[in-house]
Amino acid sequence: MSGAAATTALTEAHRAFSAGDLDTAEAKLDALLRSHPKWPPAVHLAGLVARDRGDLSRAEDLMRESLDLPGVTGRMRAEFANNLGNLLLGAGYTPSAEVMYQHSLAAHELPQARLGLARAALELLRPDDALGQLDRMPADAVGPSAVLLRAEALSQVGERKAALDLLTKAGPDVQARSEYWLALGARLGDLGLFDDALTALRPLLRGPDAARARLGIVDLCVARRDWEGAQAVLREGLAAEPRHVEMLSRSAALAWMQGDDARFAAGFRAALAAAPDDPALRLAFVTTLRNAAHHDEAERVLREGLERRPGDEYALALLALRCAETGRQDEAQRAIDAALGRAPQLELVRENAAIVALTGSRADDARTHTDWLIERRPRGQTGWALHALALRIAGDEAWRALAEPERVCRTATLAPPEGFATIADYNAELALRLRQRHTLQAHPLVNSVRGGTQMEIHMGSETDAVVRAFFDVIHPAIQDFMTAMPEVPGHPLFGRAPTGYRISGCWTVRLSGGGGSHVGHIHPRGWLSSAYYLTVPPEVAADPQRGGWLHFGRPPYPIPGIGPTGWVRPESGRLALFPSYQWHGVEPFPGHGERMTVAFDVVPTGG
């Protein structure tokens, strides 16, 4: 094929691709690449066609190949790298996408790559970095997507009023998008302007984004502790879309927390009976059952799914975890090996592969997977949490620098806010206010609480002055801990040198004696986590078995030789601070007294 004919063929292939005619585009590209196999534009377009066909592995291979070919420089290189970044971001490989966007910008200042870098930073929980990228965009390149990303980033750094102001001043090109009204509803809700938020979201109920709008309205109901209202919205939505995974998950969680252990998952069961080959539906149902400790049914549903789709890597990884948790090590290894064979780049597969190796006391295998997790997500808490366990089972003393409580944890007794003579006086009043909010019957389905209740505290929309004072009370202890941190490059806690912090989440937990506990867990979306003790029954302080105490270092998995590495004795007015990757939990305690805490996660800023 001559040069002119090749150019014509490429133009025709691109025209067909742009029109959505993938068959024609692919046919022309096949012929073109037989005569010009190393022509960068043709190779890259073939990658785009593979992407739109859903063959993401082939798409990535072709796009990477196009970047490595001679002559790919300047704007062409920037566009190729940006497209690969978009592919990786959409597939969930956010750190790899971030690298591609950086390559793009190194070749040419491409506004869409700058936007992609901001989006990746947001997904990696670095809203300050996202704002920095958006600030560097040329004014004439700031479109609706950039405005919406900036509003989300401002909200994540705690500038909720600024986020709302930005949205209310947005032009008609931004307001023409459904995403604008969804964002506006969320930001209004952040500030407690619930009626205005509903006004923003309700018109979307008549359009293609009805499900997302309903979920936004459910969030508003939950923030107001209107459980029945939230369920009513979900029932209406599920009547229209009975197999909507997120609405089914939210409905099951609310029913569970309202004490409906028998029927909380009825919607999932009916939906799966109607669509047994829907893998997303099945996996969400399994997750719900696992979180409710309905482990036998969860395993049965998993195995039924694998009979229908034997190579489902998600189901294989979950089955491997279940087998590892129950001592069926050989079966766990077979399942995780199958999952790794199909999807070695999937984080869930790698995480569960590390757990299978840990429960089998295979330290080297565990290290292989935790090293992969840390390389992929250096600031991710899960990889570091599993890595510390891998070091421990290997007998490697390096775990101490990461997770030994004496080195990375701290306690402090707090001073009362203005208007209260003692911290005990403040705790009594704060406990009274929070106790009135614990109106549910069971723990949320997505966390560690067992035999108790948990309620969110929304800092931005909180109107109770006594509750708001809590954020002033904890500030000196957080600041002191940060100031005392040594500089340790590469350390997941001490390596970030922040100049400030923000609260990324806050909640209150109420446990009762005779069964209330926390299973071992970490906080994947934090950096520094906490437990502040409001009320502590006398049985807890005096229990020789340390029931009701906070323990560090023991995960929820049966790993031979791994037990607690430290303890914190609860005491009213005491605050415990520890890395978010630090395994921690609470054993049941005797008696019938109330153990009430407030917990929060901190993420660093400015470092």
Q: By three-state DSSP, how is residue 38 classified?
A: coil
pLDDT on residue 1: 64
pLDDT in tens, 230-271: 999 999 999 999 999 999 999 999 999 998 888 999 999 999
Q: By three-state DSSP, how is residue 496 classified?
A: coil
Under a CB-based contact definition with an 8 Å cutoff, are residues 261 and 442 in contact?
Answer: yes
The torsion angles phi and psi of 571, rounded to 5 degrees, stand at -155, 130
pLDDT on residue 199: 96
The torsion angles phi and psi of 505, rounded to 5 degrees, stand at -175, 150
What's the Cα-to-Cα distance from 153 to each of 106, 120, 137, 157, rounded to whole Å?
Answer: 24, 11, 15, 6
* Encoded amino acid at 409, one letter: C
pLDDT on residue 591: 84
pLDDT on residue 95: 79
530: part of which helix (H) or strand (E)? strand 528-535
pLDDT on residue 449: 79
What's the Cα-to-Cα distance from 46 to each of 19, 21, 159, 469, rounded to whole Å?
Answer: 15, 13, 43, 58
Spans of the chain, pLDDT less than 50: none
The two three-digit tokens of residue 151, written as one number: 């509003």
Cα distance between residue 511 and residue 186, in whole Å: 31
CA 296 distance to own-chain centroid: 26
Hey, what's the torsion of the CAs at 421, 427, 433, 436, to 10 degrees? -150
